[in-house]
């Protein structure tokens, strides 16, 4: 990587996506637990780099989920059917709450695959849940 | 309906792909029991929104007038609660069912409590 490469920076209007597990959303939207995990920073993905269908497909490849559902192969359609969803939130909304980006080792806001580590999301999970939207079905399934 | 929903929250280790703690059937059954008691004991409290938590608990979540209250049920003997206003940061503390009753009464009932500082005496940081 050339040292003079332009750093990748998030803009306020950039949309970040996060996997939502079954039970962490309802008819009123996303629940705060969708933005909490055991880590200090929470994983999001830049929607333009990894749209909702691709995000679910990524998690469908995790061995722990294949084991849990007793399937040798899973795809985004399976995960959607099992109740997984994708939450979307603008980076500017996270920044306004005081959440910050933990940059990659190369000094970028997001990795080659669009992965973003957000610090502080856990502390403001309730507020994030209020502004988060659930990705529409047609963006989550059948992307191939 | 909400009871069946809670009972479906039993989860194996790493269920969230981020190393989430398992949620036991005991946690689910305890959450149903605690919820039924709270709905009976706190006048006017609505049913909460419920979800599985990566910490291994069942979360009972209420929001009203800019206030957020989450009761995390790990087992019949271990409860945690987080109370915060919108825009505030707060950590979970160990609590009792009585503490939850007081918080919810403040959020949803019209009568004042005679002992508003009692919750401070009950609260202690959650270990581990």
Residues in chain B with CB shorter than 8 Å from the CB of A64 are: 14-15, 17
pLDDT given for residue B91 in this prediction: 87
Could you tell me the pTM of the whole model? Answer: 0.90
The predicted-structure confidence for A115-139, as pLDDT tens digits, reads as follows 999 999 999 999 999 999 999 999 9
**Chain A interface, best mutation among B23, B47, B54, by max A CB count within 10 A:** B54
Longest dimension (CA), chain A: 48
pLDDT given for residue A125 in this prediction: 96
Find the Cα–Cα–Cα–Cα dihedral B42, B48, B54, B56, rounded to 10°. 40
Residues in chain A with CB shorter than 8 Å from the CB of B89 are: 123-124
Number of domains in chain A: 1
Domain carrying residue A61: 15-140
Which residue on chain A is closest to B48 by alpha carbon?
Answer: A31
Tell whether A55 is covered by a domain.
yes
The predicted-structure confidence for A18-54, as pLDDT tens digits, reads as follows 999 999 999 999 999 999 999 999 999 999 999 999 9
CB atoms within 10 A of CB B111: 9
Tell whether A63 is covered by a domain.
yes
Mean pLDDT of B2-16: 97
**Chain A interface, best mutation among B5, B8, B16, B53, by max A CB count within 10 A:** B16
Average pLDDT, chain A: 94
Q: Considering only residues 42 to 71 of chain B, which have any Cβ-Cβ distance to chain A shorter than 8 Å?
A: 49-55, 59, 61, 63, 68, 70
pLDDT given for residue A4 in this prediction: 62
Residues in chain B with CB shorter than 8 Å from the CB of A55 are: none
């Amino acid at each position: 990587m050339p040292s003079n490469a332009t750093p990748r920076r998030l803009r306020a209007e950039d949309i970040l996506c996060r996997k939502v597990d079954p039970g962490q959303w309802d008819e009123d939207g996303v629940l705060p637990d969708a933005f909490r995990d055991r880590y200090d920073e929470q994983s999001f993905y830049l929607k333009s780099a990894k749209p909702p269908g691709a995000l679910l497909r990524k998690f469908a490849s995790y061995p722990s989920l294949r084991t849990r559902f007793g399937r040798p192969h899973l795809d985004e359609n399976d995960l959607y059917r099992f109740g997984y969803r994708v939450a979307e939130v603008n980076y500017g909304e996270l920044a306004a709450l005081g959440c910050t980006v933990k940059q990659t080792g190369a000094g970028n806001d997001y990795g080659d695959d669009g992965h973003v580590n957000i610090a502080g999301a856990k502390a403001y999970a309730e507020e994030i849940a209020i502004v988060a939207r659930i990705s529409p079905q047609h963006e989550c399934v059948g992307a191939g | 309906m909400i009871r069946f929903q809670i009972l479906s929250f039993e989860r194996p280790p790493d269920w969230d792909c981020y190393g989430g703690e398992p949620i036991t059937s005991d946690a689910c059954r305890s959450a149903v029991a605690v919820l039924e008691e709270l709905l009976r004991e706190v006048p006017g409290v609505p049913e909460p929104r419920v979800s599985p938590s990566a910490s291994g608990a069942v979360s009972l979540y209420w929001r009203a007038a800019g206030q957020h209250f989450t009761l995390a049920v790990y087992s019949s003997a271990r409860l945690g609660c987080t109370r915060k206003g919108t825009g505030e940061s707060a950590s979970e503390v160990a609590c009792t069912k009585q503490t939850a009753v007081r918080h919810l009464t403040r959020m949803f009932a019209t009568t004042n409590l005679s002992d508003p500082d009692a919750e401070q005496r009950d609260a202690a940081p959650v270990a581990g």
